């Protein structure tokens, strides 16, 4: 017998999910339209923040369905607070990421860190974890390690986007990777690995892989695919060809995952 949505841990009403997905799709459309009109600047800082907030909402709903309301909130708070703290320490003391700064173009911030930053970490770590968890199943250490690798691959397209193109993030001492030191990628991996291990512990109330519904399986990959397309468009317009290459690779990766799950008849609705 095929599993159905009735055996999921936390139920989300269809209107709730459609509202979140609709807002995310609308903001993605605004961002892409902004790129058409304004080039790589896109919809600007406000549009970027709203896009990430809508994406975080969608990813949060999938977490709620997979592990329940309480654990989903614990995971969300864990990622936001940890990433906020690490980025604060990076700005003030050069911790992990080296001496860096946020340029102030994103006006909504806390303790010098824009609100978009922890939301971005929830998207790449929380969303990436769900994608990898669907592929790797019960081996939690492997899921955490591979999630960190996937987030680094996303960093190769995101960091040029928020650094070189939008000038939201900056490393004053510069570096060979689009004005950033290559060590930033190692720092990105370390933080992503720590966040993923925390998600394993706090979200350890997993329904079985067989209980995953079709929506739970393909939605996180679709959200990351949309983010990838946005970065691909901006990087392409700016002629950042290395970032374009990684954006294209991520497009193939997340696109293949979406197609795979949509064609998987063993999943519920």
Residue 12: inside a domain:
yes
Q: Please tell me which residue, 83 or 166, carries the higher pLDDT value.
A: 83
Beta strands in the chain (DSSP E): 101-102, 109-110, 113-114, 169-170
Predicted TM-score of the model (pTM): 0.88
Using CA atoms, how far apart are residues 199 and 189, in angstroms rounded to an integer? 15
Look at 18-22, 154-158, 226-230 and tell me which has the smallest mean pLDDT. 18-22
As beta bridge partners, residue 113 has 110
Instruction: Please enumerate in sequence order all residues whose Cβ is within 8 A of that of 222, keeping only pairs 6 or more positions apart, or say none.
Output: 254, 258
Instruction: Please enumerate in sequence order all residues whose Cβ is within 8 A of that of 133, keeping only pairs 6 or more positions apart, or say none.
Output: 143, 206
pLDDT at 124: 95
pLDDT at 264: 67
Residues 142-156 have a mean pLDDT of: 92
204-236 pLDDT tens trace: 755 555 555 666 778 899 999 999 999 999 999
176-184 LR contacts (CB < 8 Å, sep 24+): 178/240, 178/243, 181/98, 183/98, 184/97, 184/98, 184/155, 184/159
Residue 3 has pLDDT above 60, yes or no: no
Using CA atoms, how far apart are residues 102 and 112, in angstroms rounded to an integer? 7
Using CA atoms, how far apart are residues 189 and 128, in angstroms rounded to an integer? 13
Using CA atoms, how far apart are residues 216 and 72, in angstroms rounded to an integer? 14
pLDDT at 89: 95
Residues 239-267 have a mean pLDDT of: 86
Residue 163: inside a domain:
yes
3-state secondary structure of 206: coil
161-190 burial, b at 16+ Cβ within 10 Å, e below that, comes to: bbbbbbebbbbeeeeebbbbbeebbebbbe
**Look-up of token digits 């999938």:** 62
Residue 269: inside a domain:
no
How many structural domains is the chain composed of?
Answer: 1
pLDDT at 80: 97
Residue 268: inside a domain:
no
Domain extent for 227: 5-263
pLDDT at 205: 59
Helix and strand tally (H, E) in the chain? 9, 4
Report yes or no: 133 and 143 within 8 Å, Cβ to Cβ. yes
Residue 196: inside a domain:
yes
Q: Please tell me which residue, 39 or 194, carries the higher pLDDT value.
A: 194
62-89 pLDDT tens trace: 998 888 889 999 999 999 999 999 999 9
Residue 239: inside a domain:
yes
84-103 pLDDT tens trace: 999 999 999 999 998 899 98
Residue 105: inside a domain:
yes
Q: Which of 241, 250, 248, 87 lies closest to 164, judged by CA?
A: 241
Residue 139 has pLDDT above 90, yes or no: no
Using CA atoms, how far apart are residues 63 and 69, in angstroms rounded to an integer? 8
As beta bridge partners, residue 213 has 268
Residue 155 has pLDDT above 70, yes or no: yes
Tokens, residue 179 = 């004005």
**Look-up of token digits 């374009």:** 244
Residue 149: inside a domain:
yes
């Amino acid at each position: 017998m095929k599993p159905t949505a009735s055996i999921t841990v936390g139920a989300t009403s269809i209107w709730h999910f459609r509202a979140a997905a609709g807002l995310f799709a609308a903001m993605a459309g605004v961002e892409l339209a902004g790129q058409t009109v304004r080039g790589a600047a896109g919809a600007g800082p406000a549009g970027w923040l709203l896009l990430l907030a809508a994406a975080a909402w969608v990813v949060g709903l999938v977490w709620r369905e997979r592990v329940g309301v309480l654990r989903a909130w614990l995971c969300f708070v864990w990622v936001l607070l940890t990433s906020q703290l690490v980025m604060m320490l990076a700005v003030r003391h050069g911790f992990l990421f080296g001496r860096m700064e946020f340029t102030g173009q994103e006006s909504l911030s806390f303790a010098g860190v824009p609100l978009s930053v922890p939301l971005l970490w929830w998207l790449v770590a929380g969303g990436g974890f769900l994608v990898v968890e669907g592929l790797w199943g019960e081996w939690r250490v492997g899921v955490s390690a591979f999630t960190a690798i996937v987030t680094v691959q996303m960093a190769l397209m995101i960091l040029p986007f928020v650094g070189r193109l939008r000038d939201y993030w900056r490393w004053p001492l510069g570096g060979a990777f689009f004005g950033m030191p290559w060590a930033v990628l190692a720092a990105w991996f370390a933080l992503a690995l720590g966040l993923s291990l925390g998600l394993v512990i706090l979200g350890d109330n997993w329904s079985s892989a067989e209980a995953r519904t079709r929506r739970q399986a393909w939605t996180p990959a679709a959200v990351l695919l949309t983010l990838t397309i946005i970065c691909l468009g901006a990087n392409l317009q700016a002629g950042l060809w290395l970032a374009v290459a990684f954006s294209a690779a991520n497009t193939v990766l997340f696109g293949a995952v979406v197609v795979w799950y949509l064609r998987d008849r063993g999943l519920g609705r």
